[in-house]
Amino acid sequence: MTNLQATKEEWQQLFETTIRFKKQAPWDWMEDEDYFLITDPDSGEHGCCVVLGAGRISYGLNVYIGPNARLFLQELSGVNDQLEDDQLELIHSTRAITVSFENRDQLDKDDLQLIRDLGYKFRGAQAWPQFQSYEPGLLPAELNGPEVRFLRTALEQTMHVADRFRENHELYFEHDQTDEGTGEKRLHRVPEITSSGVTWSDTWLPWLEEGDFLTPYVYPNELQLRQLAKSLKKSTEIWHSDFQYISQAFGEKDERGSYPRLSLWMNASADFVMAGGLAGNHNFIQAYVEQLLNLLKESDHTPASIQVSSKKAYLALKDTADKLGIKLQFNFDLPELQMAFNEIENSI
- Can you give the pLDDT at residue 177? 52
- Can you give the pLDDT at residue 183? 59
Q: Does residue 171 register a pLDDT over 90?
A: no
The Cα–Cα gap between 38 and 160 comes to: 12
The residue ranges of every structural domain in the chain are: 8-206, 222-347
Question: What tens digit of pLDDT does each residue of 226-269 get?
Answer: 999 999 999 999 999 999 999 999 988 888 999 999 999 999 99
CATH of domain 222-347: 3.30.420.10
Stretch 170-196: mean pLDDT: 77
The total of other beta-carbon atoms located within 10 Å of residue 107's CB is 17
Question: What tens digit of pLDDT does each residue of 85-100 get?
Answer: 899 999 999 999 999 9
Question: What tens digit of pLDDT does each residue of 98-154 get?
Answer: 999 999 999 999 999 999 999 999 999 999 999 999 999 999 999 999 999 999 999
pTM: 0.92
Q: Please name the amino acid found at residue 271.
A: D
Q: Does residue 166 register a pLDDT over 80?
A: yes
- Can you give the pLDDT at residue 68? 95
H or E element that contains 134: strand 128-134
